[in-house]
Amino acid sequence: MESISRRRMLALSSLTCGPLAELAFGSAAGAKRPNILFIMTDDHASQAISCYGSKVNQTPNLDRIAREGMRMDRVFATNSICTPSRATILTGKYSHLNGVPVFNRFDGSQPTVAKMLQKTDYYTAMIGKWHLGSDPTGFDYWNILPGQGVYNNPTFYDKDGSETYKGYATDVITDITIDALKNRPKDKPFFMMSHHKAPHREWTPDEKHRKMFEHKHIPEPANLRDDYSGRTDALHEQKQSVFRDLTRRDLKLKPPAGLSGAELNQWLGVKPMEVETEIDGVRKTLRGKELEDWKYQRYMQDYLACVQSVDDNVGRQLDWLDANGLRENTVVIYTSDQGFFLGEHGLYDKRFMYEESLRMPFLVRWPGVIRPGSTSSAIGINCDFAPTFLDLAGAPAPTDMQGRSFLPIWEGKTPRDWRGAMYYRYYHDPGDHNTRAHYGIRTATHKLIYFWKKDQWECYDLAADPHEMRNIYNDPKAQKTVSMLKQELYRLKKEMRDDDQFANEQPKESSYVQAPPPRKR
């Protein structure tokens, strides 16, 4: 603990003495500063992690991080979609300040936490899914998937060109991460981002786990058949419904023999309202509710099987750290770029500000500093990650970063003036899921959402209605609360310097497979 306070004091002195002092401190503090291993998956909902109370699966290795460290229960994405969340994590800034509100190309010339850590003499590395359109900057080593990448035999590329790896993406990303750890310079602390593709759509499991959930009945969430009564147009108009919008590709239906190219793609892209399949050895045509039930099970079986490989690989990574003397001085973080709907409100995907999509799982282990088995309900946002990394390195966060360091929370001393509400803004409207643009706030007890292109509001009492089924915006008894929340919303919007810079930004579709550069050599 003492060394952290010392680091803080030094960080403060460097803040007052400018960048040169910062550099001097960086080299002086040397090996005492902790390593940072940041493991992030893509679209992993906390309700599919057993230490968060999952009813659908068991994740013993992720639970191990929580058991040996802390589970944070209220860490939220400020714009719940892949590319914007990644840009926010790197910059510590909201989408409207880092220039990535939708699937824009990230301008890598702007300041990022990787560049700042590099300046304080950290060894920086980025492995796996990057998905920011431009190549990584600020990393001593990087090896990334082009665009979304693929699950099987993925191609990666680095500064020298591309290379195809045999195997399953989650295993390969872990292998490359462990290799990078082995080959790192040992005289510096490291900051390593290990970003998985899984469990992103189209949810292709590996061979080991493919059949793990095949004969299991996955419990449905109570609001799988939400009829959206009392809610705004947004839920009615979305195209991310488990029952209506999963395609033959998502459901892994077998195409007729002889189809290829554009014809095959077209067949796979159909959202089937009738499916012929074999159940317990009997061929059957599924329609209506029977088909809906089947779709939910198919979706979840594959999603959860992808998660299981993530869990195995996180275990492998922890074992490697522990076996190589890196347990004590390495901060291990597990998170996902946002949450995901696992049938809640009848949805898959993310984007909406409802809890399952908004909430990022956040588990962290740091032996000797974080009390094992601790939890926190402080409201965190993905803008906090960069200031946290800088705090660990003993470097000050630039004043234009919009988050705060988690360090005092991890030490069990949440500051009294910690934020009481978080601001959210989603832009990608209509986009492929027709999710209506909205902004809003979430406090410890309430949520207020404004669909600005529709001029429609939703308000939820999260204590009384945690599943967000009853919109109290027009409830006469809620008017005082609504008005207070509105005031806080506009105060936060202003404080976060959102003056609608990107309110009219047009959606850009994310390319699933970006062409990799030429092969190495």
Residues that bind Ca ion (CB under 5 A): 42-43, 82, 337
Report d(CA 78, CA 383) in Å as an integer: 8
Cβ proximity of 433 and 500 under 8 Å: no
Least separation in angstroms between CB 43 and Ca ion: 4
Residue 436's DSSP bridge partners are none
Q: Which residue has the tokens 């059949």?
A: 211
- Give the residue with the Cβ less far from Ca ion, 490 or 512: 512
Cβ proximity of 67 and 375 under 8 Å: no
Report d(CA 217, CA 220) in Å as an integer: 9
Least separation in angstroms between CB 402 and Ca ion: 21
Least separation in angstroms between CB 337 and Ca ion: 4
- Give the residue with the Cβ less far from Ca ion, 7 or 44: 44
Report d(CA 297, CA 294) in Å as an integer: 5
- Give the residue with the Cβ less far from Ca ion, 131 or 298: 131
- Give the residue with the Cβ less far from Ca ion, 43 or 429: 43
- Give the residue with the Cβ less far from Ca ion, 80 or 405: 80
- Give the residue with the Cβ less far from Ca ion, 201 or 493: 201
- Give the residue with the Cβ less far from Ca ion, 198 or 370: 198
Least separation in angstroms between CB 374 and Ca ion: 27
Q: Which residue is nearest to Ca ion (CB)?
A: 82
Report d(CA 518, CA 514) in Å as an integer: 12
Least separation in angstroms between CB 196 and Ca ion: 10
Residue 192's DSSP bridge partners are 37, 125
Report d(CA 124, CA 121) in Å as an integer: 9
Nearest one of 40, 86, 45, 71 to 354, comparing CA atoms: 45
Backbone phi and psi for residue 283, each to the nearest 5 degrees, phi listed first = -75, 140
Q: SS in 3 state form for 271-320?
A: CCCCEEEEECCEEEEECHHHHHHHHHHHHHHHHHHHHHHHHHHHHHHHHH
* Kind and range of the H or E run holding 73: strand 70-76
Residue 357's DSSP bridge partners are none
Cβ proximity of 300 and 205 under 8 Å: no
Report d(CA 270, CA 247) in Å as an integer: 5
Least separation in angstroms between CB 509 and Ca ion: 15
Nearest one of 388, 454, 467, 379 to 417, comparing CA atoms: 379
Least separation in angstroms between CB 355 and Ca ion: 16
- Give the residue with the Cβ less far from Ca ion, 103 or 366: 103
- Give the residue with the Cβ less far from Ca ion, 388 or 510: 510
Token pair in block for residue 417:
């003036």
- Give the residue with the Cβ less far from Ca ion, 11 or 82: 82
Token pair in block for residue 149:
């990448």
Least separation in angstroms between CB 490 and Ca ion: 29
Least separation in angstroms between CB 23 and Ca ion: 35
* Kind and range of the H or E run holding 173: helix 169-183
Dihedral Cα 371, 377, 383, 389, nearest 10 deg: 0
Dihedral Cα 339, 343, 345, 348, nearest 10 deg: 60
Least separation in angstroms between CB 209 and Ca ion: 20
- Give the residue with the Cβ less far from Ca ion, 43 or 292: 43
Least separation in angstroms between CB 419 and Ca ion: 24
Least separation in angstroms between CB 293 and Ca ion: 27
- Give the residue with the Cβ less far from Ca ion, 197 or 404: 197
Cβ proximity of 413 and 419 under 8 Å: no
Token pair in block for residue 392:
């660990």
Report d(CA 52, CA 442) in Å as an integer: 20
